[in-house]
Amino acid sequence: MAWWRRKKEPLERGKGDQKVSVPRGLWSKCDGCGEITYTDEFVQNLRVCPVCGHHHPMPTHERIAAMIDPETWELLDTELRSGDPLQFEDKKTYKSRIAKAERNAGSGDAFASGIGNIDGVPVSAGFFVFEFMGGSMGSVVGEKVTRVIERGVELKRPVVLFSASGGARMQEGILSLMQMAKTSAARGRLRDAGLPYISVCLHPTTGGVAASFAMLGDIILTEPRALVGFAGPRVIQQTIGQELPEGFQRAEFLLEHGMVDRVVSRLELREHIGALLRLLQNTPRRAEEARP
């Protein structure tokens, strides 16, 4: 089983070997099968249930640690903050929502961008911070995604984007919608430069993010059971007035309908991306790399 093979991996990052110090009281219950495991082991296993393989949501810093090779990540564009172009106010002001999200998510907006290596391949990469207002894309996210892509062109590096987003950020109105055009334009330039772009659609990727760069990868990967689609299930249900079929818009559904290339276990994702980038760029296999 794949997850056993990878089980020691997180130890290399100096996190897992403190297992003994975790109080015995810390348990995690699987959302898939109800199995109870030690939280520490659960986190080491990238929040994938060792029994049923259910993939649980993962904080962005853990995601970055799991996908980027140790000691290679350089976080960039951290100074960008959202303005409030519409002076938007619903039950709360947009400004107060941003301030709260920044405190809770520990991120300036819903995207973390930088450069680093994935399985030995230098890339320009970006990660949605779903914890920040549902990973919604406003001006800052659009700008950061665009910079990740442009940096790929500039540094001649492949681009890898990990999306997890409810879509455009309503509080920035039309400016959010236009980020779809902006990021897609940048994606075109990467295509012209002949550099690979792997889009990883994580749970969930919908709306304006799905309907722009996330669906424009040369290769599109997703994790088991991840929900990826244009309209949210609730909206569709309200529109058509009937129950949605089991597994609708899930990763396996997308695979069946030809919308993604592969559904990849989180425990194999990093190596998988590395192998694909080496194949796309016609560079040699890593010495220790197993054949896919």
Touching other proteins, residues 53-72 (CB under 8 A): 59-61, 64-65, 68, 70
Q: Of the two residues 7 and 95, which places its CB atom closer to Zn ion in the complex? A: 7
Applying CB under 8 A, among 187, 266, 270, 278 the residue interacting with other proteins is 187
CA distance 197 to 178: 21
Q: Among residue numbers 6 through 35, which ones bind other proteins (CB under 8 A)?
A: 13
Q: Does 208 bind other proteins (CB under 8 A)?
A: yes
Q: Does 210 bind other proteins (CB under 8 A)?
A: yes
Q: Does 230 bind other proteins (CB under 8 A)?
A: yes
SS3 25: coil
Q: Does 257 bind other proteins (CB under 8 A)?
A: yes
CA–centroid distance for 45 within its chain: 17
Q: Does 255 bind other proteins (CB under 8 A)?
A: no
- The one of Zn ion, other proteins, none whose footprint includes residue 52, by CB under 5 to 8 A per kind, is Zn ion
Q: What one-letter code names the amino acid at 119?
A: D
Which residue stretch of 4-12, 118-126, 163-171, 283-291 sits at the interface with other proteins (rule: CB under 8 A)?
163-171
Q: Does 112 bind other proteins (CB under 8 A)?
A: yes
Applying CB under 8 A, among 16, 32, 57, 85 the residue interacting with other proteins is 85
Residue whose C-alpha is closest to residue 195's, from 120, 270, 281, 276: 281
Sequence-ordered list of residues with C-beta below 8 angstroms from that of 91, at least 6 positions apart, any chain: none
Radius of gyration of the chain (CA): 19
Q: Does 149 bind other proteins (CB under 8 A)?
A: no
Q: Does 81 bind other proteins (CB under 8 A)?
A: yes
CA distance 120 to 102: 32
User: Please, what is the minimum distance in Å from the beta carbon of residue 87 to other proteins?
Assistant: 9
Applying CB under 8 A, among 18, 21, 24, 91 the residue interacting with other proteins is 91
DSSP 250-271: BHHHHHHTTS-SEE--HHHHHH
Q: Does 248 bind other proteins (CB under 8 A)?
A: yes
Q: How many Cβ atoms from other residues are within 10 Å of residue 17's Cβ?
A: 12
Q: Enumerate binding residues for Zn ion (CB under 5 A).
A: 30, 32-33, 35, 49, 51-52, 54
Q: Of the two residues 2 and 80, which places its CB atom closer to other proteins in the complex? A: 80
- The one of other proteins, Zn ion, none whose footprint includes residue 49, by CB under 5 to 8 A per kind, is Zn ion
Sequence-ordered list of residues with C-beta below 8 angstroms from that of 221, at least 6 positions apart, any chain: 198, 199, 200, 201, 260, 261, 262, 263, 264, 269, 272, 273
Longest dimension (CA), the chain: 57
Q: What one-letter code names the amino acid at 32?
A: G
Cis peptide before 204 (omega within 30 of 0): yes
User: Please, what is the minimum distance in Å from the beta carbon of residue 259 to other proteins?
Assistant: 5
CA distance 110 to 129: 4
Q: Of the two residues 124 and 146, which places its CB atom closer to other proteins in the complex? A: 146
